[in-house]
Amino acid sequence: MPRNRNKVSEFLEKFSHQATKATGTSVAFVFALLIIIVWVITGPLFHYSDTWQLVINTGTTIVTFLMVFLIQRAQNKDALAIHLKLNEIVAALEGASNRLIDVEDLSEPEIDALHNYYKRLIELARKDDNLTTTHSIEEAATRHGTKYKKKTTDKTDRKTDRR
C-alpha cells in the first residue's frame, strides 16, 4: 500500500524507529550510567558548583523531554498495529462479536458499557465448570440456565431414587 509521503515524514519515522531501537538496549543504559558516573567523579574538580549541577540537570531534562515524544510515537504505532491485528482476528473468527472491532474508538461510556457486559459474562462463566465454553452473555446465560436446570433435575432425581 504505497502512500505519498514527504521526505521529512519518512526521515522522522526512520529516525524515531532507529532511536527507539537504540535507546532500548543494554548498551544505551550502560552509556547513560557512564555519563552519570563521569559527572559524579568530576564533582570535586568543579567544587560541586551550581554550573556542575546545571549541566546534568539541563542534559537530563532535554533527553527526557525528547524521549517522551519518541516513546509516545513508538507506542502509538505499536498500539495501532496491535489493534489492527486484533480487529483481523475478531473479524475472522466465527462467533466472535464484531462489536469489538475498533473498540478503541468508542467513547468512555461505551467502553464502560462493554466492560460491564464482559464482567457479567465472567460472572456467568465462573459458575460453569469449563470457562472456555461460552463467548457471549446471551449464550452464557442460556448455557448457565440449562446447566442449572439439569443440576436441579439431577438432584430431584437422586432424592426420588433414595425414597
Domain span including residue 137: 106-163
Instruction: Please check whether residues 39 and 56 belong to one and the same domain.
Output: yes
Burial group, residue 76, by CB count within 10 angstroms (0-12, 13-18, 19+): exposed
Phi-psi region for residue 48, left (φ > 0), alpha (ψ -120 to 50) or beta?
left
pLDDT at 54: 96
Give dist(CA 159, CA 136) in Å, integer.
34
For residue range 8-64, list pLDDT tens digits in order: 888 988 888 899 899 989 999 999 999 999 999 999 999 999 999 999 999 999 999
Q: pLDDT tens, 108-149?
A: 998 898 888 888 877 877 776 665 555 566 666 676 666 556
pLDDT score at 51: 94
Higher-scoring residue by pLDDT: 132, 106 = 106
Number of domains in the chain: 2
Which range among 17-21, 83-87, 118-122, 153-157 shows the weakest confidence by mean pLDDT? 153-157
Are 91 and 112 in contact by the 8 Å Cβ rule? The answer is: no
Instruction: Give me the pLDDT at residue 121, please.
Output: 78
> Based on the domain organization, do 9 and 39 belong to the same domain?
yes
The gap from C-alpha 152 to its chain's centroid, in whole angstroms, comes to: 42
Of residues 163 and 23, the one with the higher pLDDT is 23
Indicate the residue among 101, 119, 149 that finishes a domain.
101
- How many angstroms separate the CA atoms of 101 and 83, rounded? 9
The Cα–Cα gap between 82 and 88 comes to 10
- Are residue 54 and residue 95 in the same domain, yes or no? yes
Which residue in the block uniquely carries the three cell numbers 475472522?
Answer: 92
The answer on 111 and 69 residing in a single domain is no
